[in-house]
Amino acid sequence: MKYSNWLLLSCLLTLTTFAAEKPAAKGSPSSAATGSIKWIAFPDPQLELRGLPWFAENSPELWRLPKSAKTAVPKGVWARAIAPDGGRIRFSCATSRLMLRIEVISTQKKLAYFDAYIGDEFAGSAGSPGPKRNEFVLFADRDQRPKAITIYLPNTSQVRVLAVGIDEGATLSKAPAFAASAPLVCYGSSVLQGTGAEHPSKTYPAVLARRLNLDFINLGFGGAGKAEPGVVALVNHPPASGYLFDLGKSYGNQPKEPYAQMLADIRKTHPNTPMFCVTPIYSTNEPIQKEYFEKSVRLRTLMREAAVERRDAGDRNIYVVEGLELFGPADQKLFRDPQHPNDEGNERMGDRLVGLVKSVVLPRK
């Protein structure tokens, strides 16, 4: 049986990189703004926070898992959960400028970038080293018509947001609704987390969700995505319009059973929610390291078989996404390192998933 046809339309998509979506390398200094700015302290009920379902427990920390789970999950998971990957601040506002006051607590060898979008169009970006407090302009010199604004919080960096700055006379209103009532919940590896993406708006879950106007939660935990029961229970907690599992090479040398049990646990709680099982993408290590290649083949086979066994047993809402088609040898120029796609590579992956996820999560009414 050929499984590649389960990734609907992925090879037929025409990939377009919008010039407007290329984040700037540096943010504007705060001195670039003119006139009065009104600062809104964060958190504030008017500043809608998405992608961080345990914020009510963790506030003001922008952690991806509840603080009550700190000692219950593996240390490697918690060490990555303190970064707000997938977190976004959303609101509507007729402001000509957008500013931020932030604190970077720690970074992983790169700037902590904050990306701003107006609607689905890139509007500006600013990066800060850590540990440091900073204030900067995300965009300026815009008209004063109402705008749907999204601020993507940094990936793989621990930060705090202190305040959001808008024009003195501007007011906040509610952000537009998403196309589905529940988020796409994503769990897995460093590839899914977006380790290779410099900008948080460019991780492939972020690209996919933006293309389809979906909310999303990114529970990628680097090399610690191993389907442990305690972690899976947390993944299973938020309501979901779909689940995207990309455990990749982080799954390690485990047998099939933990992966299969993860699928069974999710299905027990969410009997009709679509599950997308991504097998490991290509790595430039594969042609030159025999053991790495064999591990990649074994993991692709294991994850594929676990999903197909469920499908053959009657689960009609589970889908295999072949990693080599999502990001394969032909895409190797778009790696940041041997295992992680860069911004453009992540965007390509997100675009290749649009057809399948749209057809399953957002069917025509």
The pLDDT value recorded for residue 364 is: 77
**Pair 38, 93: CB distance under 8 Å:** no
Which residues are bridge partners to 271 per DSSP?
Answer: none
If one compares 12 and 145, the residue with the highest pLDDT of the two is 145
- pLDDT > 90: percent of the chain: 88
Cα separation, 41 vs 102, whole angstroms: 11
* Tokens describing residue 333: 């120029």
Q: What confidence category does residue 335 fall into, taking pLDDT thresholds of 50, 70 and 90?
A: very high
- Per-residue pLDDT reduced to its tens digit, 64-104: 999 999 999 999 999 999 999 999 999 999 999 999 999 99
Residues 6+ apart with CB under 8 A from 259: 227, 247, 251, 302, 303, 306
* Tokens describing residue 354: 């649009």
Residues 6+ apart with CB under 8 A from 330: none
- Per-residue pLDDT reduced to its tens digit, 224-267: 999 999 999 999 999 999 999 999 999 999 999 999 999 999 99
- The vertex-250 CA angle with 254 and 308, nearest 5°, equals 60
**Pair 363, 212: CB distance under 8 Å:** no
Cα separation, 249 vs 281, whole angstroms: 9
**Pair 210, 268: CB distance under 8 Å:** no
Mean pLDDT across the chain: 91
Work out the widest C-alpha separation in the chain, in whole angstroms.
65
Cα separation, 165 vs 22, whole angstroms: 23
pTM of structure: 0.91
Please, is 148 exposed, middle or buried when counting C-beta atoms within 10 Å of its C-beta (0-12, 13-18, 19+)?
A: middle
Cα separation, 341 vs 197, whole angstroms: 7
pLDDT higher than 90, residue 324 = yes
Mapped onto helix, strand or coil, the DSSP state of residue 139 is strand
- Amino acid identity at 300: R
Q: What confidence category does residue 34 fall into, taking pLDDT thresholds of 50, 70 and 90?
A: low
Residue 45's Cβ-side half-sphere holds a number of Cα atoms within 13 Å equal to 0
Helix spans in the chain (H): 55-58, 75-81, 190-193, 204-212, 229-235, 257-269, 290-312, 323-326, 343-361
